[in-house]
Structure 1
Amino acid sequence: MDNVDVIVIGAGHNGLVAANYIADAGRRVLVVEANPEIGGFTASQRAIPAAPDHLTHPYSFDPFFWDSFPPATELGLDRYGLRRVRVDPGLVYLDPDDASLAFWEDPRATAREIERYSKADAAAYLEFARLLRALSDVALSYFVANPVRFDVRPLARTARHALRHRRHLRDIAALATGTAAEAIADRFTHPVVRNALHAAAGSTIPNSADGSGAGFLWLANQHRHSHQHPVGGIQSLPNALAKRLTSHGGSIEVNAPVAEILVRDGRAVGVQLRDGREIAANEAVVASCDPKTALGKLLPESALPSKLRSRVDNIAVRNGGYGQMKVDLAFSGRLSLDRYAKRRGDGLDLRKPMHVLATEEGIERAFARSAAGLLPHSDDFSMWNVIPTGVDPSQAPDGQDNFYCYLAVAPYEVEGGWDTPDSEGLTMRQRAGDAVVAKLGRFYDGVETLEIGRRVLTNEDFEALVGASGGNITHVDMTLSRGGPRRPARGLAGYRSPVPGLYLGGSGSHPSGGITGAPGYMVARELLRDGRKDRKS
């Protein structure tokens, strides 16, 4: 039997972050990954058959939150090949009527944009930005605290931030637990500004739902530091993490799916791979895969009491029926946004930022139809789009573009399934792709004439390709009832599983999903802390 100190299940970015910290502490670490390539939800692929030289990013593109968490500075990934290009403004809202609104790192620059539409809204935005800063200061400190034990240093930081922002505490609580729609309606009046903020709220639940206001953490983060687009696509992040890990003595095995987490005398002691090979872990097993898979599929049924097993079975991964959709496109030439650029008149290169396309009313309609298993109407799609070649031309052949289109809401399931032909011989997947391209053609010049090929992915595909339960890109639903000491479920939070020696360190753990590295950082910290305690006892 092979033997290491710590086994990490899953070579997504959180698993690789955890492995790096554990290896830095002198442990022999092995990361086992089921897929042929590392990356998980931070993988890039050349996956459009008609355009094999165009890079795609099937699940994520921009590590928005990466620079807000310790791994970004502590791991020094620039020394291991990670190169990034700063883009400011990082986000631009595109209105259907050719107006646009750029969100700059400096909120004062954003307010000057808003002033073109409403001076009152511009003043309100500066005050809102101050609230967002207070929210993010408090939240980011809490996000690196263990939510189920007294974690002195991060809790002290959180308390200091709360004290510094005490004038805003009531508003912070109202924003974090309330609705994005109410937060916008209370402050802004111009339709372009309201549409832009509804689009940028970033929630996977309706903006009228309680807790959706917390989605403004994304916008708060935008004003902490602008986007840093990774050269070579998002795959460059796990690649740099892997290079760093192996240079520090760790190892990675791909094509190594885990069949079972081995438990002896009530303790996790290793894993058995599907090919029958057993690998022993002298100290611990870290599951960076989703918790429903780790605890419900890989752990022997007898390892958890029935009450906890029931909670595992009921971990929410279907997001209330609201799914997401991803459309990657390849183009034979370069897209342009000439009419938006002409109206702006400031020379801003609109090919570089991320774009959001949505309207206040359309977002609500899209959620309603998606919950009913119906494809939203094309005009109502809520889109987050990037032209990666606008910053990094190496991702496609010379003079050509790749295109990333993330639909923030789509049906989790559709009537009849995604791939059943209708009376006209078209599947719902094909109709969805056509509807997406039709909408994009109303914003970008060249979409319909330059398209070479496309790839349309749904939650069903995310589950098949990455393995996450329900194809949930955050592993567990992002709701108030699944946060902090209840993430992923009551009795299962805090990184230590109920089985000694087994730790949870993926996006289903506190603080949440997204490309942060925070769950990996936190699980490594808890594991190493326990190791120090064991050696003293």
Structure 2
Amino acid sequence: MSTYDYVVVGAGHNGLSAGATLATADRSVCVVEQLAIPGGLSASHAYLPEAPEHLLSLGAMDDMFMAQTPLARELGLARHGYATIPLDHPYGWIDEDGETLLLWRDIRRAIEEIKHFSRADARTYADLQGPINWVMDLVDKLFVQHPSAWGKRDFARYLLRHRPDRATRRLLGGLATLNAFEWISETFESDAMRGLWAYWSSMIGPSDAIGSGAYVLGFAGVHRGPGVLRPRGGMSGLVRAMQGVLEEHGGELRLSSPVAEILVEGGRAIGVRLADGAALKARYGVLSNLAPQVTFGPLLAPEHLSRAEHNRVAMVPSNSINVAAFKIDVATGGRVGFPAAELRRSKRDDADVRKATLMTGTLEDHIAQMRAMKVGLNTEDPPVYMAILSAVDPTIAPDGGDVLYLNSNVPLRPDGGWETSKDAITDAVWKSAQRFLGGTDTEIGRVVSSPADFESRFAAPAGAFFHVDMLVNRLGPSRPARGFGGYDTPVPGLYLAGAAAHPSGGVTGWPGRLAAQHALRQER
């Protein structure tokens, strides 16, 4: 039996962040991963044997949230090869005529862009910047701390020093009481702004949930700090750097090592048993980068949770309104583009629309699609999310070729099930994207991932990238559930360190880092 101070289950980017944090604190640590490559949903890899030079990203593709924090600097990721590409206009909206709205990092240029569609929307967006930045300044402080670090007095002192003005109070009221689609409908008038924000919101969580208006705050990262960054060489550039920090400080990474059981002795987590029968002992604790449904489901003997605790895990919402992500990742031998958009844009300015992630659909399209997906159906031309990743980073494809990242929302449980529906849904999403794309006839190969595939391959419950829905009652110390927040669990020595923990899903690394720091404070 090998013994370490800590064992981390799962080598997603949060698991590696946890492992690196523990290793830099001079603790012996072993990170175990079921797959043959690290990174989980944050990996970029040559998944297609017929396209060995095309690096596909089945999950994450950008660093929007970690870039706003000091994590890369604190871990020294640059020393291990982590480099990023700043994006001048990371996101945008496109219609079938080739008209495009680009959300520029430069806020002044973004406002000018919006004027092309609506002067009223441009004024609204400009007026929102102060209130949004007030909210995000607070979020940035809370994001990198234990969720219980601030009490009522701390919030009161902050509010006394940073009194929100009337516009900020109005924004807070709207975000708290309206769902995302309602807030968008009551805030913007143009199809471009409504459609862009509707697609973004639909990716974060249930857009019809009260309080989901807060999803729109995600776009604030476009204009704040360094803006949105794309790891050079694909997301695995970040993964390799975290692995480098882990191993530089004596940590160990074991790949192709699925965990069969979390070992508990005397009521405390003491290690794990791998599928091959090997046991790894942990002196101080086990950190799980996996979702709570997996951590407290197949990996933990049922007697270690009470009946009420089992029920809390069972009620954790993951893609709870039957809406989930569907991916088509494509390697091509030729140039992929947006022909109509490129031609039309050339008459306005020299912006390269191939370097933007373009989203489609009107707000009404998204509302109709959400209603259909709730009952297992979809709309005829579903909205799509399209990124030509190699247009920004040529290192992930051979000369002359491209990597296309295509995402669309689909019903989690389609009518008829995935065995009978996957091909038809693939065709519908592809057909919808072809309204905007050109050059896909040079396709070499593709990887198609349904929500069921994400669950079976990456242990993402219900195909949920964030593990747990981003709901107001599933944030902070209540994420993922009462009694499981703040990284502690009902089993002493077992900590949650993945997307289901504070601060959230997305590429941040902070659930892993904060969980590791918390575990270090609990040592005895």
Would you say same fold, with TM above 0.5? yes
Distance 2:206 2:498 in 1: 25
Could you say which residue in structure 2 is the equivalent of 1:522?
514
TM-score by length of 1: 0.91
CA 176–56 in structure 1, closer or farther in 2 if over 3 Å, else same: farther
| Structure 1 contact 4–29 (Cα < 8 Å) conserved | yes
Instruction: State the Cα deviation string for residues 172-212 of structure 1 (Å, max 9, x = none).
Output: 24214522233233332233332233233354445443222
Q: Secondary structure at the match of 2:344?
A: helix
Distance 1:158 1:372 in 2: 44
Q: What is the aligned counterpart of 1:476 among 456, 463, 468?
A: 468
| Structure 2 contact 384–432 (Cα < 8 Å) conserved | no
Q: What letter is aligned with 1:118? A: S
User: How far did 1:157 drift?
Assistant: 8.3
Q: What is the aligned counterpart of 2:436 among 440, 443, 448?
A: 443
User: How far did 1:300 drift?
Assistant: 1.9
Could you say which residue in structure 2 is the equivalent of 1:267?
268
CA 199–307 in structure 1, closer or farther in 2 if over 3 Å, else same: closer
User: How far did 1:170 drift?
Assistant: 4.6
Could you say which residue in structure 2 is the equivalent of 1:5?
5
Could you say which residue in structure 1 is the equivalent of 2:158?
160
| Structure 2 contact 67–227 (Cα < 8 Å) conserved | no
Distance 1:51 1:158 in 2: 56
Which stretch shifts more, 69-78 or 160-169?
160-169
Distance 1:274 1:173 in 2: 50
Q: What letter is aligned with 1:358? A: G
| Structure 1 contact 296–313 (Cα < 8 Å) conserved | no
User: How far did 1:510 drift?
Assistant: 1.4
CA 399–162 in structure 1, closer or farther in 2 if over 3 Å, else same: farther
| Structure 1 contact 336–444 (Cα < 8 Å) conserved | yes
| Structure 1 contact 82–231 (Cα < 8 Å) conserved | yes
Could you say which residue in structure 1 is the equivalent of 2:309?
308
Identity between Structure 1 and Structure 2 (%):
36
Could you say which residue in structure 2 is the equivalent of 1:334?
335
CA 159–90 in structure 1, closer or farther in 2 if over 3 Å, else same: farther
User: How far did 1:466 drift?
Assistant: 0.9
User: How far did 1:470 drift?
Assistant: 2.3
1:455 maps to 2:447: yes
Could you say which residue in structure 2 is the equivalent of 1:373?
376
1:69 maps to 2:69: yes
Instruction: State the Cα deviation string for residues 264-296 of structure 1 (Å, max 9, x = none).
Output: 111111111111111111111111111111122
Superposition map of 1:412-423 within 5 A: 412-420=412-420
| Structure 1 contact 495–503 (Cα < 8 Å) conserved | yes
Instruction: State the Cα deviation string for residues 473-511 of structure 1 (Å, max 9, x = none).
Output: 111122223222321111111101121111111101112
User: How far did 1:110 drift?
Assistant: 0.8
Instruction: State the Cα deviation string for residues 213-250 of structure 1 (Å, max 9, x = none).
Output: 11112111111132211122111211110011101111
User: How far did 1:4 drift?
Assistant: 0.7
User: How far did 1:252 drift?
Assistant: 0.7
Q: Secondary structure at the match of 2:369?
A: helix
User: How far did 1:322 drift?
Assistant: 1.1
Q: Which runs of 5+ in 2 are unaligned?
A: none
Q: What letter is aligned with 2:84? A: R
Instruction: State the Cα deviation string for residues 343-375 of structure 1 (Å, max 9, x = none).
Output: 332101111122112211111121122111123
Distance 1:10 1:161 in 2: 39
Q: What letter is aligned with 1:475? A: H
User: How far did 1:101 drift?
Assistant: 0.9
User: How far did 1:50 drift?
Assistant: 4.6
Distance 2:269 2:135 in 1: 39
Distance 2:50 2:423 in 1: 16
Distance 1:492 1:313 in 2: 13
Superposition map of 1:169-188 within 5 A: 169-188=169-188
1:41 maps to 2:34: no
Could you say which residue in structure 1 is the equivalent of 2:217?
217
Could you say which residue in structure 2 is the equivalent of 1:98?
98
Q: Secondary structure at the match of 1:226?
A: coil
Distance 2:160 2:438 in 1: 47
User: How far did 1:156 drift?
Assistant: 4.7
| Structure 1 contact 287–503 (Cα < 8 Å) conserved | yes
CA 271–205 in structure 1, closer or farther in 2 if over 3 Å, else same: closer
Instruction: State the Cα deviation string for residues 289-329 of structure 1 (Å, max 9, x = none).
Output: 11111122212222122211221222222422111101111
Distance 1:176 1:526 in 2: 30
Q: What letter is aligned with 1:195? A: G
Q: What letter is aligned with 1:274? A: A
Superposition map of 1:392-411 within 5 A: 392-407=393-408, 409-411=409-411
1:433 maps to 2:426: yes
TM-score by length of 2: 0.94
Question: How many residues in Structure 1 have an aligned counterpart in Structure 2?
Answer: 519
Could you say which residue in structure 2 is the equivalent of 1:424?
none
Q: What is the aligned counterpart of 1:490 among 482, 494, 518?
A: 482
| Structure 1 contact 485–493 (Cα < 8 Å) conserved | yes
Distance 2:155 2:317 in 1: 31
Q: Secondary structure at the match of 2:462?
A: helix
Distance 1:253 1:31 in 2: 6
Q: What letter is aligned with 1:32? A: V
Q: What letter is aligned with 1:503? A: Y
1:253 maps to 2:281: no
User: How far did 1:159 drift?
Assistant: 5.3
CA 159–143 in structure 1, closer or farther in 2 if over 3 Å, else same: farther
CA 155–395 in structure 1, closer or farther in 2 if over 3 Å, else same: farther
Could you say which residue in structure 1 is the equivalent of 2:17?
17
Q: What is the aligned counterpart of 1:499 among 481, 491, 494?
A: 491
1:194 maps to 2:194: yes
User: How far did 1:389 drift?
Assistant: 1.0
Superposition map of 1:288-327 within 5 A: 288-327=289-328
4+ residue runs over 3 A deviation:
48-53, 149-152, 154-163, 200-209
Q: What letter is aligned with 1:127? A: D
